[in-house]
Amino acid sequence: EAQVTQNPRYLITVTGKKLTVTCSQNMNHEYMSWYRQDPGLGLRQIYYSMNVEVTDKGDVPEGYKVSRKEKRNFPLILESPSPNQTSLYFCASVLTSGNPGELFFGEGSRLTVL
Amino acid sequence: AQSVTQLDSHVSVSEGTPVLLRCNYSSSYSPSLFWYVQHPNKGLQLLLKYTSAATLVKGINGFEAEFKKSETSFHLTKPSAHMSDAAEYFCVVSDWSGGTSYGKLTFGQGTILTVHP
């Protein structure tokens, strides 16, 4: 089954404790991206990756890091989380060849930073 | 720069009546436009997309949208609402212009659709 898998789905942590949210897709998609969703703000792009070893900043990259060492994985790293990073995070992927295809979203990871 | 404005944060309709969710966009080139739906505690699912082909686009579950360049609008409609349509809807613009790049996506703020029995 084609899917984007995020882990963990729920996490409560404390300020300053490094954490990683993993994202994996099984569709051989080139493009992967991270978004955060906050009430009244829609989804805002954090980082995206056009392919392996190619990443770029989205609209709200501050406080986040990413890496793309393998095509299927695109982890989101919070080196020193702060309460303003409390949010619902989504990973998405898409096959970029030709027309922009359907963005496949993960189920979301709800992060609370105390 | 590109932007998207969803004109209503909440829309409430009765089951069986038409649905209209409004979206205006701003883009300095020919954009690609999308509507996504998010059911509670779920990820987003693509409803339909416009990529410079037909201006009237049909999507899943009876939804359709019309691209109007002169009005910079991409409103989502459905003739008859169903209870299962209750969800949050997002209008999205992309600066994709062909080839292998996907482009930058900008999401609207979302419209919550409530459907009453």
Number of Cβ pairs < 8 A linking chain A and chain B: 62
Hey, how many other C-beta atoms are within 10 angstroms of the C-beta on B83?
9
Residues ≥6 apart with Cβ < 8 Å to A88: A36, A37, A38, A108, A109, A110, A111
Residues of A in contact with B6 (CB under 8 A): 42
Q: What is the pLDDT of residue B56?
A: 93
Chain B CA closest to residue A32: B102
Q: What is the pLDDT of residue B18?
A: 98
Checking if the pLDDT of B115 tops 90, the result is yes
- Mean pLDDT of the B15-32 span: 91
For B109, which of A41, A48, A103 is closest by C-beta distance?
A41
Q: Which of residues 69-88 of A touch B (CB under 8 A)?
A: none
Residues of B in contact with A7 (CB under 8 A): none
Checking if the pLDDT of B62 tops 90, the result is yes
How do residues B68-111 score in pLDDT, each as one tens digit?
999 999 999 999 999 999 999 999 988 766 555 566 778 899 99
Checking if the pLDDT of B32 tops 80, the result is yes
Q: What is the pLDDT of residue A101?
A: 56
**pLDDT band per the 50, 70, 90 thresholds, residue B51:** confident
Taking the Cβ of residue A44 and every Cβ of chain B, the question of whether any pair is shorter than 8 Å is answered with: yes
How do residues A19-53 score in pLDDT, each as one tens digit?
999 999 999 988 899 999 998 888 999 999 988 99
If phi > 0 it is left, if psi is from -120 to 50 it is alpha, else beta; for residue A107 that is alpha
Q: Which is higher by pLDDT, A58 or B103?
A: A58
Chain A CA closest to residue B96: A100
For A50, which of B45, B46, B101 is closest by C-beta distance?
B101
Task: State the Cα–Cα distance between residues A106 and B69, nearest whole angstrom.
Answer: 32
Tell if the CB–CB gap between B102 and A45 is shorter than 8 Å.
Answer: no
Q: What is the pLDDT of residue A98?
A: 54
Q: What is the pLDDT of residue B77?
A: 98
**pLDDT band per the 50, 70, 90 thresholds, residue B42:** confident
- Coil, helix or strand for B7? coil
Tell if the CB–CB gap between B51 and A99 is shorter than 8 Å.
Answer: yes
Mean pLDDT of chain A: 91
Checking if the pLDDT of B14 tops 70, the result is yes
- Mean pLDDT of the A5-25 span: 96
Torsion of CA A94, B33, A109, A95, to 10 degrees: 0
Burial B45-66 (b: 16+ CB within 10 A, else e): bbbbbbbeeeeebebeeebbbe
